[in-house]
Amino acid sequence: MQPLYSLKASESANDERFDGLTHLARSHFGVMAVLLTTGAGESQQVRTCDGLALGNASGLYPFDLAWRRADTVFVVPDTHCDERFRDHHLVVASPHVRFLAACPLPAPDGAILGTICLLHDQPRELDPTQQQVLRDLARIAASLLAREQADAHLERELDTLRVSERRMALAIAGSGTGIWDRNAATGEIHYSNGWKALLGYAEHEVGNRIEESYTRVHPADLEYVKATIQAHFEQRTESYEVEHRLRCKDGSYKWVCSRGKVVERDATGKPLRMIGTTTDITAMRLMAEQVQQTAALMTDLTNEIPGMAFQYRRLPDGRSYFSYVSAGVRDIYGLSPEQLAASEEALLGIIHPDDLGRYQASFDDSARTLTPWRLEYRVRLPGRGDSWRQGDARPRQLEDGSLVWHGFITDVTERKQIEAELQVFATTDSLTLLSNRRHFMQQLDAELARVQRTAGYCATILMFDLDHFKAINDRWGHSVGDQALRHFAAILSSQLRKTDAAGRMGGEEFAVVLSDASIDQAVTFARRIQSELANAPVLHADARISLAVSVGIAAINASDVNTETTLSRSDMALYRAKRGGRNRIECH
């Protein structure tokens, strides 16, 4: 039988640096427990465990399996159906493991730093998306472990530097970290060879003046970097730490984390000497962006990733509360995790009143059908006005009858604004800002449907054609012609009610639908348009260009097969108006 896992380890094994990762993994996958180990073979140790109490014995042993690739996910859907594990004591006795999945923590050189493991007391599967999330978690944990090793190595080197009072001239091998030593009084700064190599420079290609060093900082980050250093110089912070971009020799930029501390001050507290490190974090930044793009995993491990991961519970008696929210709640709802956990009423007061009913009903529907919750809704945050949020979560029913949702909420305000702009582009004539032909026909379809389903309801359509428009173009040019079209469209829009619709059908031809209006009312509307047009000529330079319009009117009948039938009648009436001498109104 293949070894499963011994769940016995020191009570102090949990490592707070990884607690958030395993807690989020457990919440995301909805499993009984998540373990994160480091090392290999018999030396493998538990770094953190979420979901199970750890015993007092020692040792947590890995699966006796050969990993083919560093990103391989090992899944046992049901240990009872797998002869390698079904007789293991953790399967046949408490905690009765039925499902397990594990993914190694890959180092950059291909070595395995440890393992992240999911355990559950019910059989289940991991789909490809869930497996990718597990790989992403493993890569994040591996990066933290790699950085931890680099930091440990760096501390040993810094101890040597303090004892010997000499500058460290070599980079920490393979750590992606360089060392610098700054004389705050003279403005001199010395870099280790590894620091220079980090940016692609040879030893002689980097000067020792702080003024030169600032020229390598990305312009957008420079003031922030200077302000952070000054804050430490003035003893407002314990140390200097900042993430920013540095220009490499080839002109590209790398993301780095610079850390330092003043180690010597004069009697007045003025800084004399500051020692620090610069670590390449480009890979970690790229990984964070990948996680953000998948929108499948948001954690409170970093404030760089927007969004809010959450666990929401509804008890059998109807009470509900957020049992977990990530730090992103401050950006999403303007609340602290403690405020939201204390009272759901705080959230209900933020959701837009017009969307509150949909918000509550959507959770009711998800609870009743046990289907995923997905909703786009508005929130009102003090000082920020209305903005859009998108929520996605999956419900699961617990043995006690309560429900739990694990999900994620993102800010989609920018996307909603773009969608609104695209909708305007798709439905609006860019010259006149009226509906384009396609959108107007949709509005006409809706009005015909209203006439057909509502007894006694009447509506009319009017076709307008600017008279002698070609002569205006020929005499004054197309720019004046466009001005005339915009002028007429403005007059038309000023006379419409909220229930009416107007559109440009093409060229100098326009159409209007008057809802709940008879033929006589339509004639009155058309005469008003002609009068307004006659009293307001187009002004161009010193010229006053008079406009006139012919109008064809037809009623929208419940017997019309489609809107083309309605439109053809108004077209025929317009044709008679044009043939009859123009600047006329004809009814079909």
167-285: CATH number: 3.30.450.20
pLDDT of residue 163: 67
pLDDT of residue 54: 55
pLDDT of residue 265: 94
**Per-position pLDDT tens, the chain of length 588:** 444 444 444 444 456 778 888 999 999 999 999 998 887 666 678 888 898 875 432 333 434 444 546 678 999 999 999 888 888 888 898 889 999 999 998 888 878 888 899 999 999 999 999 999 999 999 998 888 888 888 888 888 877 777 654 544 443 545 568 889 999 999 999 998 889 988 999 988 999 999 999 999 999 999 999 999 999 999 999 999 999 999 999 999 999 999 999 999 999 999 999 999 999 888 888 887 776 665 444 444 434 567 888 899 999 998 889 988 888 888 889 888 888 888 888 888 889 999 999 999 999 999 999 999 999 999 998 888 889 999 999 999 999 999 999 988 998 888 888 887 788 788 888 899 899 999 999 999 999 999 999 988 999 999 999 999 888 888 888 898 899 999 999 999 999 999 999 999 989 999 999 999 999 999 999 999 999 999 999 888 888 888 999 999 999 999 988 989 889 999 999 999 999 888 999 998
Q: What is the pLDDT of residues 435-473, one digit of tens each?
A: 999 999 999 999 999 999 998 899 999 999 999 988 888
11-149: CATH number: 3.30.450.40
Angle between helices 282-294 and 128-164 (to 10 degrees): 160
CATH topology of domain 428-587: Alpha-Beta Plaits (3.30.70)
pLDDT of residue 65: 46
Q: Is 186 exposed, middle or buried (0-12, 13-18, 19+ CB in 10 A)?
A: exposed
First to last CA, the chain: 90
Instruction: Answer yes or no: CATH 3.30.450.20 is held by domain 306-417.
Output: yes
Q: What is the pLDDT of residues 57-82, one digit of tens each?
A: 233 343 444 454 667 899 999 999 98
Compute the distance between CA of residue 189 and CA of residue 274 in angstroms, rounded to an integer: 9
**556 close to 447: Cβ distance less than 8 angstroms:** yes
pLDDT of residue 218: 95
pLDDT of residue 276: 92
Q: What is the residue-wise DSSP string for 394-442?
A: EEEE-TTS-EEEEEEEEE-HHHHHHHHHHHHHHHB-TTT-SB-HHHHHH
Q: What is the residue-wise DSSP string for 490-552?
A: HHHHHT--TT-EEEEEETTEEEEEEET--HHHHHHHHHHHHHHHHHSPEEETTEEE---EEEE
* Numbered ranges of CATH 3.30.70.270 in the chain: 428-587
Query: pTM score, two decimals?
Result: 0.38
pLDDT of residue 100: 92
Token representation of residue 142: 């591996």
* Numbered ranges of CATH 3.30.450.40 in the chain: 11-149
Token representation of residue 125: 């599967």
Beta strands 549-555 and 585-587, pairing class: parallel
pLDDT of residue 55: 47
CA quadruple 504, 506, 510, 515: dihedral positive or negative?
negative
* Numbered ranges of CATH 3.30.450.20 in the chain: 167-285, 306-417
Compute the distance between CA of residue 114 and CA of residue 60 in angstroms, rounded to an integer: 11
As a dihedral over the C-alpha atoms of residue 476, residue 477, residue 479, residue 481, rounded to 10 degrees, the angle is 70
Neighbouring residues of 383: CB distance < 8 A, sequence distance ≥ 6 = none
Nearest to 92 by CA among 126, 121, 52, 63: 121
